[in-house]
A and B are shown apart, each in its own frame.
Chain A
Amino acid sequence: GNSVTQMEGPVTLSEEAFLTINCTYTATGYPSLFWYVQYPGEGLQLLLKATKADDKGSNKGFEATYRKETTSFHLEKGSVQVSDSAVYFCALILLRGKFQFGAGTQVVVTP
């Protein structure tokens, strides 16, 4: 079946550190891949997406590359800020627009 696996959190970092959140997936076909971010007390917001193999999505300093050979879509940011503290969700889109979300990874950035 289809699934999304993310690294467990919380991930605790100091400000200006490098962030990587691993995401791997299993799916039939070649789904579009997404990263969403959820700030405390809010709904999910789209962070970036990639629709085909080797595409790189980027936004707000975050990047992720669609790797078909390793079925991965790891999220990276070179220098995190306290304001990046949030829960990050990896997701893929299934038939008829249904999303499969990972369990989420909490990121805590300390000053």
Chain B
Amino acid sequence: NAGVTQTPKFQVLKTGQSMTLQCAQDMNHNSMYWYRQDPGMGLRLIYYSASEGTTDKGEVPNGYNVSRLNKREFSLRLESAAPSQTSVYFCASSAGTGGFEQYFGPGTRLTVT
């Protein structure tokens, strides 16, 4: 049972480059989320998708775009990477938005130089 998978695990980008982080879940969950984790700041929500076909901004959406490709997959795109986007990115999913716990992927460690 894979749960939530993320690719890649590690990535180094130069300022201005673009990339897409991939996330997939095999639990038939309706809702998916992208977070970033920075030291001393916990996890901050970037974007989420309450259900297939919908996406909404979270706490820190600037510089990011997302696509809910289908029920399983939710990608995060950095169009023009900046050093401030150096972080660990986590994807999560939940059965719905009514108080269900979230299940997390292993994370992508991104460094922007």
Contact = CB atoms under 8 A, between A and B. Distances in A.
Interface of A: 4, 32, 34, 36, 41-46, 49, 51, 89, 93, 96-99, 101-104
Interface of B: 4, 31, 33, 40-45, 48, 50, 56, 58, 90, 92, 94, 96-107
Given A89-B43, A98-B58, A32 B99 contact: yes
Most buried by B among A45, A49, A93: A93
Contact of A42 (B42, B45, B100, B106): B106
Contacts of B45: 98-99
Given A97-B100, A98-B58, A44 B90 contact: yes
Given A34-B101, A42-B106, A45-B104, A89 B42 contact: yes
